[in-house]
């Protein structure tokens, strides 16, 4: 990872950060961040329910007029106008309700994606090394999308429908006080049943989102390692594993559907309609209500069907959204272990590096190395050698804080790297790794990744220094040639030369080459060696290599063995004094 991977994070605009103490509070904080839209939507939802209730009341009055001995048709005409006007107004309010919640859903999704993206970029490589990419992608895409659906259609339908429950309670007493009993009884039982429904639904929706994450993780790994899968003829095995994970996801979704199918409020609705009608007819028989009053009252009771049927879908969507939010927060609330130190030291770097009794481990009890101490003067070239697995690469990644030392100090220019402004530190340190990462962009854009404002001439100069200009010219579109993901359309040597060009362009004070010429053919190696030698002049350079040609001209050689610094010195000195160093060349 070069220092440029962090620059995206630091150049990001200020983002809203929700209350991360819990998924519901986090979602609510994002909603309240857009409170004007939320207020407009809630007012529209209330008005929509109010105007809807006008219709059954007016129809009841019209029924009384029609059944009277001498019906006044002019009154019927006025009622028709009132119904038409109220429903026209209701249509407008319904539009603003739907528009408001959809707008808020899209903005919350945007804010959540940005908050999560900045959070992920701010985490240490220790976190990313332990976190499955597929699961992270599932949370960053599908789970974030579920938060969107939580608002629209979820909260949109719930907010719009729940007011329908209270309108019969408010308006029924206008006909007779006792008629409020049925809607109140329905509301009490409805919310009780809903509470039980959501309690049963929560673990199932959590499993739906979790199993999807597992499914996505395995799919991502299979596609990322497709060459290995095909090379080992394991296609059938991978299909079977995918089928097992898909079955788990299917079973969770079926269980969710089973719970939804046992939705009690549907039964409560029809009981309420039946009891309410019987109550109204009993009062009609006693002469307390007119026929039109019964019709109007029953029309109010029919308003209960909207929240009942909608809640079957809407609350499931809200539960899935909360489950998605919970998974997102689990990721974001994990320890970052990386202090960006925005107010830290950021003077121009000279390139002095010192390790003082440094130890590091990825996990507790899994020590990579310990008691590492050495000092490098500005402009020196340092070769790091040792057997595979001795921590050579990890050692260099402590310099730009890709990882942080567990014990001891890593100092640059006499300042602990933790006290440096992280952006300033990484802008002056460039790492070229064995596994070169290129983006699905043009060659010019890949070279200029660490310096986006570089001119084409600067890019070409860097490419020539890295011996990359010649092969770039052979492509039909030259520097505008788009490479495949991870640079799969290029050879290993070509990818490494582009990485060298990227480093030359950023002109770092500290350059780290992690076996960067391992994939370069012998015909090109001499040119690359000269380019690296030229690039090393005037800057501190660390070279992780087994090539004697690179080790010989190093000012200082570090010999790593079994997590310790076995020896330190020049080539001639180590040949005389270090058995481990001589063994490396004997092998």
- Return the closest-CA partner of residue 272 out of 164, 189, 163, 159: 189
Residue 408 sits in the same domain as residue 464 = yes
Residue 389 sits in the same domain as residue 243 = no
Residue 423 sits in the same domain as residue 520 = yes
Domain contains 1: no
Tell me the per-residue pLDDT of 193-242, one tens digit each, with 9 for 90 and over: 888 888 888 888 888 878 887 887 777 777 767 767 777 677 787 788 88
CA dist., res. 490 & res. 51, Å (int): 66
| CB neighbour burial string for 443-474, b if at least 16 within 10 angstroms, e if fewer | bbbbbbbbbeebeeeebbbbbebbbbbebbee
Domain contains 340: no
State which of 301, 332, 363 marks the end of a domain.
332
The model's pTM: 0.65
Domain contains 360: yes
pLDDT tens across the length of the chain (587 residues): 333 333 333 444 567 788 888 899 999 999 999 999 999 999 999 898 888 888 899 998 888 888 877 777 788 888 889 989 988 999 999 899 999 999 999 999 999 998 888 888 777 666 776 677 777 887 888 889 889 999 988 899 888 888 899 999 999 999 999 999 999 999 999 888 888 888 888 888 888 878 887 887 777 777 767 767 777 677 787 788 888 888 998 998 888 888 877 777 888 888 999 999 999 999 999 988 898 999 999 999 999 988 888 877 788 888 888 888 998 898 888 766 556 677 788 888 999 999 999 998 877 667 888 889 999 999 898 999 888 778 888 899 899 888 888 889 999 999 999 888 888 888 888 888 777 778 778 888 888 887 878 888 888 988 888 778 888 888 888 888 888 665 667 777 788 788 888 888 888 889 888 875 555 556 656 666 666 776 677 789 898 887 777 787 788 999 988 888 888 988 888 888 888 888 876 66
SS3 label, residue 348: coil
Residue 319 sits in the same domain as residue 381 = no
pLDDT at 271: 92
pLDDT at 81: 92
CATH number at residue 566: 3.40.50.300
Residue 431 sits in the same domain as residue 308 = no
Return the structure tokens found at 363.
């996990």
Domain contains 346: no
CATH number at residue 247: 1.20.1560.10
Residue 424 sits in the same domain as residue 539 = yes
Residue 235 sits in the same domain as residue 96 = yes
Tell me the per-residue pLDDT of 266-297, one tens digit each, with 9 for 90 and over: 888 889 999 999 999 999 999 888 989 999 99
State which of 272, 300, 332 marks the end of a domain.
332
Domain contains 247: yes
CA dist., res. 30 & res. 28, Å (int): 5
Domain contains 224: yes
Q: Which residues does residue 359 pair with via DSSP β-bridges, in sequence order?
A: 407
Residue 357 sits in the same domain as residue 327 = no
Domain contains 17: no
Residue 328 sits in the same domain as residue 359 = no
- On whether the CB atoms of residues 557 and 551 are closer than 8 A, the answer is yes
Residue 380 sits in the same domain as residue 304 = no
pLDDT at 482: 85
Q: Domain residues for 400? A: 353-586
Residue 382 sits in the same domain as residue 457 = yes
Residue 306 sits in the same domain as residue 382 = no
Domain contains 134: yes
ω into 153 cis (within 30 of 0): yes
State which of 298, 332, 366 marks the end of a domain.
332
Q: Number of folded domains in the chain?
A: 2
């Amino acid at each position: 990872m070069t220092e440029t991977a962090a620059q995206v994070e630091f150049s990001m605009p200020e983002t809203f950060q929700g209350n991360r103490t819990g998924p519901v509070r986090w979602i609510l904080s994002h909603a309240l961040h857009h409170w004007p839209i939320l207020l407009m939507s809630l007012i529209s939802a209330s008005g929509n329910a109010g105007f809807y209730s006008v219709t059954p009341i007016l129809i009841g009055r019209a029924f009384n007029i029609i059944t009277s001995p001498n019906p006044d048709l002019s009154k019927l005409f006025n009622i028709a106008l009132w119904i038409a006007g109220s429903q026209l107004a209701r249509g407008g309010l319904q539009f603003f309700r739907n528009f408001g919640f959809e707008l808020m859903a899209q903005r919350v999704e945007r804010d959540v994606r940005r908050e999560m993206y900045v959070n992920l970029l701010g985490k240490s490589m220790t976190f990313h090394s332990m976190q499955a990419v597929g699961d992270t992608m599932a949370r960053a895409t599908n789970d974030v999308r579920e938060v969107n659906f939580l608002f629209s259609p979820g909260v949109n339908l719930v907010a719009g429908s729940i007011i329908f429950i209270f309108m019969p309670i408010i308006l029924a007493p206008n006909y007779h006080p006792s008629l409020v009993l049925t809607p109140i009884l329905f509301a009490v039982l409805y919310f009780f049943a809903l509470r039980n429904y959501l309690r049963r639904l929560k673990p199932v929706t959590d499993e739906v989102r979790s199993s999807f994450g597992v499914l996505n993780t395995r799919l991502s790994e299979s596609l990322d390692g497709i060459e290995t899968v095909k090379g080992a003829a394991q296609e059938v095995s991978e299909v079977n594993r995918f089928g097992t994970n898909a079955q788990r996801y299917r079973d969770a979704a079926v269980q969710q559907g089973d719970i939804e199918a046992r939705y009690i409020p549907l039964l409560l609705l029809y009981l309420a309609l039946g009891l309410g009608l019987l109550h109204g007819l009993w009062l009609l028989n006693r002469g307390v209500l007119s026929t039109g009053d019964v019709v109007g009252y029953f029309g109010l009771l029919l308003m209960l069907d909207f929240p009942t049927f909608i809640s079957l879908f809407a609350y499931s969507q809200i539960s899935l959204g909360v489950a998605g939010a919970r998974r997102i927060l689990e990721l974001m609330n994990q320890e970052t272990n990386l202090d960006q130190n925005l107010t830290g030291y950021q003077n121009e770097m000279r390139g002095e590096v010192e390790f003082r009794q440094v130890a590091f481990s990825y996990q507790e009890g899994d020590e990579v190395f310990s008691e590492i101490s050495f000092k490098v003067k500005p402009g020196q070239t340092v070769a790091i050698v040792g057997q595979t697995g001795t921590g050579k690469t990890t050692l260099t990644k402590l310099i730009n804080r890709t990882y942080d030392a567990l014990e001891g100090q890593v100092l640059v220019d006499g300042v602990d790297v933790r006290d440096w402004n992280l952006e300033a530190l990484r802008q002056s340190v460039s790492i070229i790794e064995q596994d070169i990462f290129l983006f699905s962009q043009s060659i010019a854009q890949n070279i200029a990744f660490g310096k986006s404002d570089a001119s084409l001439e600067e890019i070409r100069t860097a490419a020539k220094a890295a011996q990359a200009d010649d092969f770039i010219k052979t492509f039909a579109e030259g520097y505008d040639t788009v490479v495949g993901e991870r640079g799969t359309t290029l050879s290993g040597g070509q990818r490494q030369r582009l990485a060298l060009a990227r480093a030359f362009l950023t002109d770092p004070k500290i350059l780290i080459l992690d076996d960067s010429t391992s994939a370069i053919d012998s015909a090109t190696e001499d040119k690359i060696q000269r380019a690296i030698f030229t690039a090393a002049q005037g800057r501190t350079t660390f070279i992780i290599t087994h090539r004697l040609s690179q080790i010989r001209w190093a000012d200082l050689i570090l010999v790593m063995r079994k997590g310790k610094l076995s020896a330190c010195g020049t080539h001639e000195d180590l040949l005389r004094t270090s058995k481990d160093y001589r063994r490396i060349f004997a092998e």
